[in-house]
Structure 1
Amino acid sequence: MQNIIKSIQEELDAMLSGHFIPYYKVAIGLAAIVALIFSIVLSHGSVFEGKIAVIDLDGSNYSTELISKINTSSYIEVSEVIRSPVNPITLVSHDRNLGVLYIPKGLEKSLKKGDQTVRLGYFSDDTNEAQNAKVLQNLNEYIPELGAELSVGKVSSLGFGREGTEATLSPMQLKSRNLFNPASSSTISTIIYFVYFFSSLTYGLTSLMIIGRLKITGMWNTVLERGFVALLARTIPYALFYTTGLTLITAVLVLFGQLRFDGNYFVFVPSIFMTGLAFGWLGFLLSWKTNNPGEGASKMIFLVPPGFIMGGSTMAVGIMPIWAYYVSHAFPLVWLFRFFRDIAMRGRSPIDMMSTYGMFIIYLTVIAFVVMIVFNQVKKPAAQPELN
């Protein structure tokens, strides 16, 4: 126990010395700055007034009226109308538009005759599918409604009544409801992920430099004498500041109504601290053979970014094959994002989270066991001359 306490004190002294990263400041300061900047930049949770171009080959009064109605609908802005055939690729190049709506020739004539269904086309710039989500959703809802308006007079003359007319024109509808982010708040969907990501980057960088720092300052032999538990304990101060920083910023966002946190935060806090331990211990393994802090810092690409990419913040988890889903849990940030979604967004209870916490404890135990094996392999050769 004395060795563990000494190791923790040495890390605190290193933080306060001014010669190494002042993580106690970075943990809180960076999280606050990231939350502030991205709250301003990403003030909208989705693309509002997404620009689309229209190729109108009909050029009729109705097509002009249709374009005007689409332009006044939510999330869509008609940026330009082309009256002649043109390659839609040129209209979406350089992020000029999110897509191109195609109105075929003979639209008004076909609608008045009512002898066949007229199909409008939409060329979607799917280089970033998320940008077109609201545009496509609104077009799919709005175009059928406008079409139904033309048929109301014809169907109502049959004497079906208002409800019968609606049932004839639209016999089946789908109404959707967003369960966890009905207002499309970017704080829930994007900003909080960036706060956790950048905070993890600085902590990961710090943990990757510990081994090199111990070696270059001549403390490595002392570390070997104290045992691997004392080495693991060196991450405790950093994990505490990591937890404190994220907790303070999350609390601020919740108190000011910028973040929806539906579960019990005290159920969530242990997952942050455990993630901090995982980052530190994996950082030891990745930087084990380094001889200076700079070498350890170069390993950052293997520690934090994979978890951000595969943790459900940049893409849907369901996109990955099942084996990749399980492999992704080798990265600590994946666990943190998983806990956040279940507790903060879905409001799961402590009992519901017991199995996930159990798996996370097994994960930490495996990492600690690997550190112990690597530590003992290094310690034996170092102790060999003393035995002789």
Structure 2
Amino acid sequence: MHSLRDEVKFLFSGQGMPYEKVSIMVAMVITVILSVLLSGNIAREARVAVIDLDHSAYSRELISEIDASEYMDVTAVLHTAADPKSLFFQDRAVAVLYFPPGLEKDRYTGQAAHIGVFYDNTNTAQTSDIKAALNEIVGLDQAEAHGDIGSTNDTVQGQVQLAARNLFNPQGSTSNGETLGFLFFFGSMFFTFATIGMVPRLRLTHQLDDILLNGTPWDLVIRLLPYGGCLLVSWVLGMAVLRIWGDLIFSGSLLTFLFLQIFLILTTGTLSLFFGWTAANPGIASSRMILFIPGGFILGGMTGPVTFYSPWVVQLSHVFPLTWTFHFQRDVIARGAGLADVLQLFGAFLIYMGAVAILFCLRFYTARKALIRHLAQEEWQREHLQQMKADAVQ
């Protein structure tokens, strides 16, 4: 009983992780917030691009039927030849349809007519509803054309079929999906554990006061570099294992990916310093990792398809740094995008990075002003005490 009383006293003392609060917060996040964010389990209004080289009334009719589906939203229609892969960059589409020249003519002359469809298979679950919807649309179109469901059109003789191809992860390998996602997630999580207690540690050793009085925010951010270097090395080593021992498809440039990750790691580290700033000690700071790391893993497209989420959930997910990591992972590693192909996304991330930097600088200079006021007050109290002693002597 003495041991139990001692441990209960420590639990509520504030010297370690506030587990009594963390346990309740985790339960509320999972049961309330995540149940709202993850309420969708089907693809709704998934973005679809169309390359229409037929320019016919039939192709326009098909585009209208696809756009009318609750599962798909036609966001782009191109009338010139284009590389389907480029239309997937920055998650602009999850499927690309290709209407070849002569599609309508083949349909009426008895020739086999094929509609090409390319699926983004970076997440194997995100296109299942789209595949079913496209097959249903083509099936109904054929049934109507041949009079199976009330149509009297006897001029249609050909059969229109879908010719599907899965891109980026055709074999549905976990090396390109869940395993790679866990590599980035756990790497970011332990990087945060290693850095989030930095400010409380410096405060306990009285180094923080000197940095606040004589330094700049960069004096704290630069301390992240050795931890970030270890994280980069661990990611490269992990991807090498998946590439050699597993079946990871690395389509892009490793240097491009590492260049982007440098910015992402610095941003994650800065957020780590920001959230751990007010903690009394490093142990308490560690529990705050849950505030900004797991959200990106849950909503970033690695555990569940982005097409399953509401648009506002997808936009909200960008407040988590790991969401950006998965964006660049899909574009550079899976789809083979170059830096020029993701400039728009990278520009948006730089705005996010700037907002994080502003928040951190405000935290730094607010703490500096508070410290200066505290030191000034102590100096005034010391001078006042000395004056009182001098008056007493006189």
**TM-score for the superposition, normalised by structure 2:** 0.54
Query: Does the 8 Å CA contact 1:264/1:349 hold for their aligned counterparts?
Result: yes
Matched residue pairs, number?
232
- 1:247 pairs with 2:240: no
- 1:294 pairs with 2:283: yes
- 1:359 pairs with 2:359: no
How big is each residue's C-alpha offset from its partner over 1:166-216, in whole Å with a ceiling of 9 and x where there is no partner? x99x94432321011111111001110011111111111122211221122
2:185 corresponds to which residue? Answer: 197
How big is each residue's C-alpha offset from its partner over 1:215-244, in whole Å with a ceiling of 9 and x where there is no partner? 222222122122212112121221111111
Q: Superposition pairs for residues 242-281 of structure 1, below 5 Å?
A: 242-256=231-245, 258-281=247-270
Taking a change above 3 Å as real, the CA distance of residues 130 and 346 of structure 1, as seen in their structure-2 partners, is closer
How big is each residue's C-alpha offset from its partner over 1:17-68, in whole Å with a ceiling of 9 and x where there is no partner? xxxxxxxxxxxxxxxxxxxxxxxxxxxxxxxxxxxxxxxxxxxxxxxxxxxx
CA distance in 2, matches of 1:171, 1:180: 29
- The AA in structure 2 aligned to 1:220 is L
- 1:310 pairs with 2:289: no
CA distance in 1, matches of 2:246, 2:370: 57
Shift of 1:309: 0.4
CA distance in 2, matches of 1:186, 1:345: 13
- The AA in structure 2 aligned to 1:373 is L
1:12 corresponds to which residue? Answer: none
Shift of 1:297: 0.7
CA distance in 2, matches of 1:381, 1:202: 31
Shift of 1:367: 0.7
Q: 2:170 aligns with which of 179, 182, 189?
A: 182
1:14 corresponds to which residue? Answer: none
- 1:333 pairs with 2:326: no
CA distance in 1, matches of 2:330, 2:310: 20
1:217 corresponds to which residue? Answer: 205
CA distance in 1, matches of 2:304, 2:203: 40
Query: Does the 8 Å CA contact 1:212/1:295 hold for their aligned counterparts?
Result: no
Shift of 1:275: 1.8
Query: Does the 8 Å CA contact 1:196/1:246 hold for their aligned counterparts?
Result: yes
2:65 corresponds to which residue? Answer: none
> Helix, strand or coil for the counterpart of 1:177?
strand
Q: Which runs of 5+ in 1 are unaligned?
A: 1-128, 145-166
How big is each residue's C-alpha offset from its partner over 1:298-320, in whole Å with a ceiling of 9 and x where there is no partner? 11111210000010011111222
> Helix, strand or coil for the counterpart of 1:348?
coil
CA distance in 1, matches of 2:266, 2:288: 17
Query: Does the 8 Å CA contact 1:267/1:343 hold for their aligned counterparts?
Result: yes
Where has structure 1 moved over 4 Å in runs of 4 or more?
none
Shift of 1:256: 4.1
**TM-score for the superposition, normalised by structure 1:** 0.55
> Helix, strand or coil for the counterpart of 1:234?
helix
Root mean square deviation, CA, Å: 2.8
Shift of 1:273: 1.9
**Aligned-pair identity (%):** 32
CA distance in 1, matches of 2:230, 2:354: 22
CA distance in 2, matches of 1:172, 1:352: 34
Query: Does the 8 Å CA contact 2:125/2:305 hold for their aligned counterparts?
Result: no
2:42 corresponds to which residue? Answer: none
Q: Superposition pairs for residues 62-81 of structure 1, below 5 Å?
A: none
Shift of 1:291: 1.2
Query: Does the 8 Å CA contact 1:204/1:300 hold for their aligned counterparts?
Result: yes
Query: Does the 8 Å CA contact 1:211/1:291 hold for their aligned counterparts?
Result: no
Q: 1:237 aligns with which of 201, 216, 226?
A: 226
Shift of 1:253: 2.2
CA distance in 1, matches of 2:237, 2:347: 26
Query: Does the 8 Å CA contact 2:296/2:322 hold for their aligned counterparts?
Result: yes
Shift of 1:130: 5.5
- The AA in structure 1 aligned to 2:333 is A
Q: 1:206 aligns with which of 194, 205, 216?
A: 194
Query: Does the 8 Å CA contact 1:242/1:273 hold for their aligned counterparts?
Result: no
1:345 corresponds to which residue? Answer: 334
Query: Does the 8 Å CA contact 2:253/2:336 hold for their aligned counterparts?
Result: yes
2:84 corresponds to which residue? Answer: none
- The AA in structure 1 aligned to 2:327 is R
Query: Does the 8 Å CA contact 1:204/1:280 hold for their aligned counterparts?
Result: yes
Shift of 1:257: 5.5
Query: Does the 8 Å CA contact 1:238/1:276 hold for their aligned counterparts?
Result: no
Q: Which runs of 5+ in 2 are unaligned?
A: 1-123, 140-155, 381-394
CA distance in 2, matches of 1:329, 1:341: 15
CA distance in 2, matches of 1:254, 1:181: 13
2:23 corresponds to which residue? Answer: none
CA distance in 1, matches of 2:280, 2:203: 6
Query: Does the 8 Å CA contact 1:205/1:300 hold for their aligned counterparts?
Result: yes
- The AA in structure 2 aligned to 1:195 is L
> Helix, strand or coil for the counterpart of 1:342?
helix
